[in-house]
């Protein structure tokens, strides 16, 4: 029997398809979910083909036992955990504390995400934290790994991120891909896809990474889909997971069969075969109530079917979203993609907004370092900063920005970098480096049908001026809360804002 490889080694080995198995810790400490996780981890430890068990962190924004606690148990049982490390519930100091605990426990694999918006907890809805986004957390991990920030013994994390190619609009898709660049540049060493069942989209991501020279291993997500869960995903009740009407209809037909569970597992095995055929470096297998025997079947049947992957892709994973955007032209022969990007020159632009144009003009005249008024404004700001005018000036700025952008008084304003859309007031997750994975059809995860995702708006606005590529380039540091309730204009001209953040 071959020796079990670490996830990192398996992803680096071109002869291997790495396998991770997703286990959900569940709510409680001594309940069925935790006992199931321990039993399955024990079995996974004995199977050399399974490189790690993935352990989720409060999925759906609901409370559960910490991923850390169950990861320590899995590690003790002999299997490496891949811990979901989300930023939704903890501020930066709590994140750092957890990283020390994980490092001390010898846990290296982290899947870094922003996470689902928190929902109901004890005595009401939980407070959303979102002090960091996933890019900030990845960057912190890099700095802890090389001791640059902590000046302590280096940590040993192998951290990755998530991307969703399964978005229906151009703006959403490009926002995902632009953030992918930032994740990789800032430390993601592997990428796992969100849930979806469209082979052309899996192929699109693989080709996008290749043409963008992003050298990163990709792990495709395989989720065993039951009809009730498919209906929830179809109704957008599980953020970021895409199941089309036609796939739900297929599952409804299957529901009448006595062997529906076998059909679900067979679909997963076929997805394994397709991902292997597309040359993904790994698969992540998950699903409600999944047993070791199920995972074993998926791996074995998937290997058996993999020679025939192209026919399977065309016949079984052809679930495009109505009018959905694809980055590449379709390959008529395979139904997948050519390497030719679609012509986006005339698509995906927003309509011109007066507010936007005026803010651009003000910025270019007064705030930009090359602006004619910049030196004068800097001198005035220096004077105001030390005078009695500081308080009324601050209040005037706050009032103006409250009218134009529902200002939250963070004092570290980055709006001009973000198309004059404020992530603190307009994005429920306060994302400063790109879209989270939860949007659907261009709408925000938290306000579906009511508010467009700010990164879709931003893409459309930037595209009008041919500047959309900047969404993948500029890293935005986290807010410095030392500046909270101060004037961001004075902070900017007096060199105290995020531009001076040495992070």
The CA distance from 299 to 44, in Å, is 13
Report the 3 state secondary structure along 50-105: CCEEEECCCHHHCCCCCHHHHHHHHHHCCCCEEEEEECCCCCHHHHHHHHHHHHHC
Looking at the Cβ atoms of 96 and 116, the one nearer to ligand SF4 is 116
Please report whether residue 486 would count as binding ligand SF4 according to CB under 6 A.
no
Smallest Cα–Cα separation from 60: which of 235, 290, 238? 238
DSSP 117: P
Q: Is residue 145 within a helix (H) or strand (E), and if so which, with residue range?
A: helix 134-145
Candidates 71-79, 156-164, 256-264, 445-453; binding stretch for ligand SF4 (CB under 6 A): 445-453
The CA distance from 229 to 100, in Å, is 36
Please report whether residue 171 would count as binding ligand SF4 according to CB under 6 A.
no
We find the least distance from the C-beta atom of residue 329 to ligand SF4, in angstroms, to be 28
Please report whether residue 458 would count as binding ligand SF4 according to CB under 6 A.
no
Please report whether residue 53 would count as binding ligand SF4 according to CB under 6 A.
no
The alpha carbon of 98 is separated from its chain's Cα centroid by a whole number of angstroms, namely 20
We find the least distance from the C-beta atom of residue 144 to ligand SF4, in angstroms, to be 26
Looking at the Cβ atoms of 86 and 431, the one nearer to ligand SF4 is 431
Binds ligand SF4 by CB under 6 A, chosen from 144, 192, 444, 490: 444
We find the least distance from the C-beta atom of residue 171 to ligand SF4, in angstroms, to be 10
Smallest Cα–Cα separation from 419: which of 458, 455, 456? 458
Which residues between 402 and 431 bind ligand SF4 (CB under 6 A)? 427-429, 431
User: Can you give the C-alpha Rg of the chain in angstroms?
Assistant: 24
Candidates 51-59, 82-90, 97-105, 444-452; binding stretch for ligand SF4 (CB under 6 A): 444-452
Please report whether residue 45 would count as binding ligand SF4 according to CB under 6 A.
no
* Residue 273: Cβ-neighbour burial (10 angstroms; 0-12, 13-18, 19+): buried
Looking at the Cβ atoms of 57 and 116, the one nearer to ligand SF4 is 116
We find the least distance from the C-beta atom of residue 114 to ligand SF4, in angstroms, to be 8
Please report whether residue 111 would count as binding ligand SF4 according to CB under 6 A.
no
Neighbouring-strand partners of residue 221: 284
> E strands along 377-459, which residues?
none
We find the least distance from the C-beta atom of residue 178 to ligand SF4, in angstroms, to be 12
We find the least distance from the C-beta atom of residue 481 to ligand SF4, in angstroms, to be 20
The CA distance from 344 to 464, in Å, is 12
Please report whether residue 435 would count as binding ligand SF4 according to CB under 6 A.
yes
Please report whether residue 82 would count as binding ligand SF4 according to CB under 6 A.
no
Looking at the Cβ atoms of 440 and 496, the one nearer to ligand SF4 is 440
Please report whether residue 479 would count as binding ligand SF4 according to CB under 6 A.
no
Binds ligand SF4 by CB under 6 A, chosen from 113, 180, 436, 471: 436
Please report whether residue 206 would count as binding ligand SF4 according to CB under 6 A.
no
Q: Are 470 and 476 in contact (CB under 8 A)?
A: no
Neighbouring-strand partners of residue 96: none
Binding-residue total with ligand SF4 (CB under 6 A): 14
Three-class SS state of 8: helix
Q: Are 173 and 167 in contact (CB under 8 A)?
A: yes
Please report whether residue 135 would count as binding ligand SF4 according to CB under 6 A.
no
The CA distance from 168 to 165, in Å, is 9
Binds ligand SF4 by CB under 6 A, chosen from 173, 439, 461, 491: 439
DSSP 20: E
Which residues between 276 and 335 bind ligand SF4 (CB under 6 A)? none
We find the least distance from the C-beta atom of residue 180 to ligand SF4, in angstroms, to be 14
We find the least distance from the C-beta atom of residue 73 to ligand SF4, in angstroms, to be 32
Looking at the Cβ atoms of 273 and 427, the one nearer to ligand SF4 is 427
Backbone angles phi, psi at 421, to 5 degrees: -115, 130
Looking at the Cβ atoms of 328 and 455, the one nearer to ligand SF4 is 455
We find the least distance from the C-beta atom of residue 490 to ligand SF4, in angstroms, to be 28
Which string of b and e fits 182-199 if b means at least 16 CB within 10 Å? Answer: bbbebbbbbbbbbbbbbb
Strands 120-121 and 124-125: antiparallel
Which residues sit at the interface with ligand SF4, rule CB under 6 A?
427-429, 431, 435-436, 438-439, 444-446, 453-455
């Amino acid at each position: 029997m071959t020796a079990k490889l670490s996830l990192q080694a398996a992803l680096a080995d071109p002869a291997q398809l790495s396998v991770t198995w997703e286990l959900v810790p569940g709510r409680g400490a001594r309940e069925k979910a935790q006992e199931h996780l321990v039993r399955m981890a024990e079995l996974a430890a004995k199977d050399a083909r399974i490189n790690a068990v993935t352990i989720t962190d409060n999925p759906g924004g609901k409370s559960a036992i910490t991923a850390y606690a169950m990861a320590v148990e899995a590690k003790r049982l002999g299997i490496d955990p891949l811990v979901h490390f989300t930023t939704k519930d903890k501020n930066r100091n709590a994140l750092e504390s957890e990283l020390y605990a994980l490092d001390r426990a010898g846990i290296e694999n982290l899947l870094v995400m922003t996470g689902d918006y928190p929902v109901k907890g004890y005595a009401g809805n939980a407070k959303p934290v979102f002090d960091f986004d996933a890019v900030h957390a990845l960057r912190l991990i890099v700095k802890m790994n090389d001791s640059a920030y902590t000046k302590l013994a280096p940590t040993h994390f192998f951290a990755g991120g998530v991307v969703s190619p399964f978005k229906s609009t151009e703006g959403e898709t490009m926002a995902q891909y632009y953030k992918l660049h930032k994740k990789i540049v800032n430390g993601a060493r592997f990428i796992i896809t969100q849930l979806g069942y469209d082979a052309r989209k899996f192929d699109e991501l693989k080709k996008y990474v290749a043409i963008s020279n992003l050298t990163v291993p990709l792990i495709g997500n395989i989720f065993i889909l039951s009809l009730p869960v498919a209906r929830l995903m179809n109704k957008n009740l599980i953020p970021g997971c895409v199941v089309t009407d036609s796939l739900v209809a297929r599952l409804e037909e299957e529901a009448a069969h006595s062997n529906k569970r076998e059909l679900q597992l067979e679909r997963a095995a076929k997805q394994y075969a397709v991902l292997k055929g597309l040359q993904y470096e790994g698969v992540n297998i998950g699903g409600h109530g999944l047993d070791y025997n199920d995972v074993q079947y998926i791996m074995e049947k998937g290997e058996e079917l993999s020679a025939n992957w192209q026919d399977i892709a065309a016949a079984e994973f052809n679930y495009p979203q109505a009018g959905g955007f694809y980055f590449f032209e379709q390959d008529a022969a395979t139904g997948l993609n050519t390497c030719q990007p679609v012509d986006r020159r005339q698509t995906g632009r927003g309509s011109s907004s007066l507010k936007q144009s005026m803010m651009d003009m003000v910025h270019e005249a007064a705030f930009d370092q090359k602006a004619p008024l910049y030196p004068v404004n800097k001198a005035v700001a220096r004077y105001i900063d030390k005078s009695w005018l500081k308080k009324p000036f601050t209040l005037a700025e706050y009032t103006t920005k409250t009218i134009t952008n529902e200002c939250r008084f963070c004092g570290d304003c980055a709006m001009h970098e973000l198309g004059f859309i404020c992530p603190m007031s307009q994005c429920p997750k306060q994302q400063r480096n790109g879209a989270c994975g939860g949007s659907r059809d261009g709408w925000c995860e938290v306000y579906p049908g009511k508010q467009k995702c700010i990164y879709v708006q931003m893409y459309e606005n930037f595209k009008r001026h041919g500047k959309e590529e900047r969404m993948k380039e500029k890293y935005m540091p986290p807010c410095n809360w030392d500046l909270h309730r101060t004037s961001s204009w004075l902070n900017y001209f007096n060199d105290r804002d995020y531009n001076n953040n040495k992070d």
